[in-house]
Amino acid sequence: MKLEPNADKALQISALAHDIDRAIHKILEKDLKDYSKINEYNQEHAKRSAKIISDILKKYQYDTKIINKVEFLVKNHEQGVDKESNILMDADSLAYFEYNIPTYLKINGPERTKQKIKFMYDRMSNKAKKLVNNIKYNDQIFELVKDIIS
């Protein structure tokens, strides 16, 4: 809602559910041995999440237009292909910066975390980057983030 206060129901559902496969399948990035394959990994993750959320929406008889839009947005949230999927990609990156860096660091270590910070920051819009610059971090996280985004 920070990025798009007038987000419709489909975009809001997509923002909440875009990473749902990680909760269900417990597939984590730490299992990706070669970080250069991050884009392929992300595409599979996005497809799995899109299928899971669209199946849930069908089960609860959501409108077909909403289901199709949510499926499209979630499927494209890792690379962004239009205005709304770009907003979702920004939201995904912001969530990483706001909430996920400490856990990611603990699981993957500092070098991999720096790669992830760079990946997430580089794909963000200028609007989202400004929001990242206002996030308060502990000293260790601040140093990692500062090294990459400065």
**Which tens digit of pLDDT belongs to each residue from 121-131?**
999 999 999 99
Cβ neighbours, 10 Å, residue 127 = 11
User: pTM higher than 0.85, yes or no?
Assistant: yes
Report the chain's mean pLDDT, rounded to a whole number.
92
The larger pLDDT score, comparing residue 40 to residue 12, is at 12
Domain count, the chain: 1
Give the model's confidence band at 28: pLDDT under 50 very low, under 70 low, under 90 confident, else very high.
low
Q: Is residue 133 part of a domain?
A: yes
Percentage of residues of the chain with pLDDT beyond 90: 77
Q: Compute the Cα dihedral for 91, 95, 97, 103 and give only its sign.
A: negative
Confidence check: pLDDT of 31 > 90: no
pLDDT in tens, 81-130: 999 999 999 999 999 999 999 999 998 899 999 999 999 999 999 999 99
The answer as to whether 50 is a domain residue is: yes
Answer yes or no: is 1 within a domain.
Answer: no
Instruction: Report the run of H or E that residue 76 belongs to, with start and end.
Output: none
Q: Where residue 62 falls among pLDDT bands split at 50, 70, 90?
A: very high
Q: 92 in a domain, yes or no?
A: yes
In a domain, 2, yes or no: no
Contacts (Cβ under 8 Å, ≥6 apart) of 75: 46, 47, 49, 50
Lowest mean pLDDT among 7-21, 33-47, 86-100, 110-124: 33-47
Residue span of the structural domain in which 99 resides: 9-149
The predicted pLDDT at position 150 comes to: 82
Average pLDDT over residues 41-53: 94
